[in-house]
Amino acid sequence: MKILSLITSFLFSIVSLQAQEVFIEKGKIEFERTTNVHKRLEDDMSENNSTFLEALKKQMPQHKTSYFNLYFNQDKTLYEPGREVEVAKKVPEWMTGPADANIVYSDLSAKTFSSLKSVFENTYNIQDSLRKAEWKITTDTRTIAGFQCRKATTTIMDSVYVFAFYTDQIVTRGGPESFSGLPGMILGIAIPRMHTTWFATKLETSDPKIGTIAPPKKGKKTDVNALKTTLYNSLKQWGKNGQRYTWSILI
């Protein structure tokens, strides 16, 4: 009888712990985006320019770090630039790329997004369906911003490999930039060919903007296919640089 009582008490404790597990439906996540500037330079320049390459490396930091906020409320998300960072060495404007001020609104239930992005001297409001990524979920895990996350992989734009880490404790199936489609919130992204990562640093649940998530209204309206055509015609002479520029815009 005593053993039965102990077993019953143990099972009740397990059920109680499971009942206490919290699932988050709204909040604000800060993402730290880091780009290895030196690796980008190495990709962009030929071996014949090694002396000039090394001189450029000495003039700029190895990594460029910036911050973005992702607001989410059940089935809607808004990703936009966050706090600014003071740095001793700044990355030149010609190395910053077109994705430094992306704003991406996603309606996960309607499977649509609206994204405000600067391309050359134009600002576009890209309105289209969410990307249909074929994610492969692995057994690897990693703790990010205090959440246990599972690793997943996919390929975008035909050949760009992406690593992602998501948590099912945050039920909204969104993520930074236009990434979504996993069984929970994406808290980490790594794109090796872009030498860039996005990792969550913290979660807040009290920001007033959480309840007022809305799509951007400015910008010249277009869709993904039309923008791809514009980029191809403008950047086809740029080689690898043009390809990377396109990736930065379409992620």
Please give the pLDDT value at position 11: 42
pLDDT > 70? residue 207: yes
pLDDT > 90? residue 245: no
Asked if residue 6 is part of any domain, the answer here is no
Asked if residue 46 is part of any domain, the answer here is yes
In percent, the amount of the chain with pLDDT more than 90 equals 57
Q: Look up the CATH number of the domain holding residue 246.
A: 2.50.20
Total domain count, the chain? 1
Asked if residue 16 is part of any domain, the answer here is no
**C-beta separation of 66 from 85 below 8 A:** yes
Within the chain, what is the greatest distance between any pair of CA atoms?
A: 83
Asked if residue 75 is part of any domain, the answer here is yes
Q: What is the 3-state secondary structure (H, E, C) of 27-77?
A: EEEEEEEEEEHHHHHHHHCCHHHHHHHHHHHHHCCCEEEEEEEEEEECCEE
Asked if residue 183 is part of any domain, the answer here is yes
| Model confidence pLDDT, tens digit, residues 172-184 | 999 999 999 999 9
Domain that includes residue 107, residue range: 24-250
Asked if residue 4 is part of any domain, the answer here is no
59 secondary structure, DSSP code: H
pTM listed for this prediction: 0.87
Instruction: Determine the average pLDDT of the residues in 135-141.
Output: 97
Query: How far is it, in rounded angstroms, from Cα 196 to Cα 31?
Result: 12
Structure tokens at 81: 């630039």
Asked if residue 139 is part of any domain, the answer here is yes
Asked if residue 216 is part of any domain, the answer here is yes
